[in-house]
Amino acid sequence: MISRRALLLAATPPFRWRMPDETTPHKRTWMTFGAHQNIWGARLIAEVQRELATIAETIARFEPVSMLVEPTVRKEARQLLPATVEQIAAPLDDLWARDTAPVFVFGAAKNKAAVDLNFNGWGEKQPHDRDAEVASFIARRAGAARLQSDLVLEGGGIEVDGQGTAVIAESCVLNDNRNPGVTKADFERAIRPLLGLEKIIWLPGVKGHDITDGHTDFYARFAAPGVVLCGDDPADPITKQHLKILKAATDAAGRALEVVPLKAPTKPRNRFQSKDLAVGYVGFYACNGAIIAQEFGDAKADAAALATLRKLFPSRQIIQLNCDALAAGGGTVHCVTQQEPA
């Protein structure tokens, strides 16, 4: 683990850490096959496992995938996962690698480190003793120095452009269930040197709206520096507020953002009745040469999202998958993946 002195040095330019954006080349994708029936229920568990396997198999066509597998579901993993996906036994509580895995950063000398964000079950909402160890486990497997943050947050709460700009939702990180008493200024002082941030664009998000308290990656994502995709859902008024904030914002380079709305489907399939249903196109994952996105059975909205993604990522193959069970659990393709940059 990196010492506190090293972290202080990292805060002093020119030696600092920098989190690359998701579209930079990856060494691999990390995922976690840890869905338990006590969390997902008998109705969803088998379909969730199949969807995880489909996502992993799809990504593995473009880059290596390393899947942590909870020993109690090793049989299911062996049956569902292809040989192209590396399986690594590890104790797990659930499957949300975006939040439990570390985020990777580079130093000025191109040395790689893994930032442990102290996962606490999204504010103690779910058992997480085993998932709290995933970040350090992956850091060791990746051979990356582990940076221990003083903050409690999740990878899904952070969206970066790789050039010093981040979009972060207040509702999840400035929340007493994660960082009691921490002000916006306190948070910025702590997070800037860890991720190499010069500008944070704050979105309000919604506390208590879902288990994550409104993760950024459901609302806004960088397609490129200066270009942000933003969810646009008439049924969710907060998206209008987010669009307004982003359209008025500038990035670390002083550029006004180009904001591209991604309209949510209005007639999605409803295979799984769920109060946690997450329906929207912002939760895509950018792997080497491809964008792995979701489709919801709304032909018009699915086609519009596909066209937008093709326009913004012309050099990548756009693949839409049916992930209805994950959506019923409040998640997206992005939520079950975490990139390790090359």
Position 171 in a domain: yes
CA-to-CA distance for 95 and 114, rounded, in angstroms? Answer: 19
Q: How far apart are CA 338 and CA 105, in angstroms?
A: 13
pLDDT of residue 249: 98
Asked, for residue 14, whether it belongs to a domain, the answer is yes
38 and 178 Cβ atoms separated by less than 8 Å: no
**Pick from 278, 263, 168, 266: nearest CA to 221:** 168
Asked if the structure places residue 342 within a domain, the reply is no
Residue 116 pLDDT: 97
Q: Decide: 220 and 167 in contact? Cβ < 8 Å.
A: yes
Residues assigned a catalytic role: 335
8: pLDDT confidence band, cut at 50, 70 and 90?
Answer: very low
pLDDT attached to residue 241: 97
Structural domain boundaries, residue 82: 4-334
Q: Is residue 10 scored above 70 in pLDDT?
A: no
The pLDDT tens digits for 268-308 are 987 787 778 899 999 999 999 999 999 999 999 999 999 99
Model pTM?
0.94
Residue 341 in domain: no
Q: Does residue 339 belong to any structural domain of this protein?
A: no
Reported as a single tens digit per residue, the pLDDT across 250-273 is: 999 999 999 999 999 999 987 787
User: Is 162 within a domain?
Assistant: yes
The answer to whether the beta carbons of residues 51 and 326 sit under 8 Å apart is yes
Would 265 be classed as within a structural domain? yes
Q: What is the DSSP letter of 262?
A: E
148 strand-pairing partners: 116
Domain count, the chain: 1
Quote the pLDDT of residue 2: 44
CATH code of the domain covering residue 43: 3.75.10.10
Token pair belonging to 92: 């797990």
Give the tens place of pLDDT for each residue, 316-338. Answer: 999 999 999 999 999 999 999 99
Return mean pLDDT, the chain.
94
pLDDT over 80 at 185, yes or no: yes
pLDDT of 6 > 50? The answer is no
pLDDT per residue as tens digits for the range 195-249: 999 999 999 999 988 999 999 999 999 999 999 999 999 888 999 999 999 999 9
pLDDT attached to residue 89: 98
**Dist CA 98 CA 218 (whole Å):** 12
Strand order from edge to edge, sheet including 290-295: 285-287, 290-295, 317-322
Give a yes or no: residue 74 inside a domain: yes
Alpha helices (runs of H) in the chain, residue ranges in sequence order: 4-10, 37-59, 74-80, 97-100, 121-124, 134-142, 170-173, 184-195, 238-247, 299-312, 324-328
pLDDT tens readout for residues 122-168 = 999 999 999 999 999 999 999 999 999 999 999 999 999 999 999 99
Residue 14, preceding bond cis, omega within 30 degrees?
Answer: yes
- pLDDT digits 0-9 by tens, 52-72: 999 999 999 999 999 999 999
d(CA 59, CA 29) in angstroms, rounded, equals 8
Residue 14 has pLDDT above 70, yes or no: no
The closest of 301, 320, 274 to 43, measured between CA atoms, is: 274
d(CA 120, CA 153): 8
Report the distance separating Cα 118 and Cα 28, nearest Å. 22
pLDDT at 7: 45
CB distance 32 to 67 below 8 Å: yes
- Taking Cα atoms as reference points, which of 66, 128, 57 lies closest to residue 99? 128
Cα gap 223→258, rounded to integer Å: 10
pLDDT in the model for residue 301: 97
pLDDT at res. 13: 45
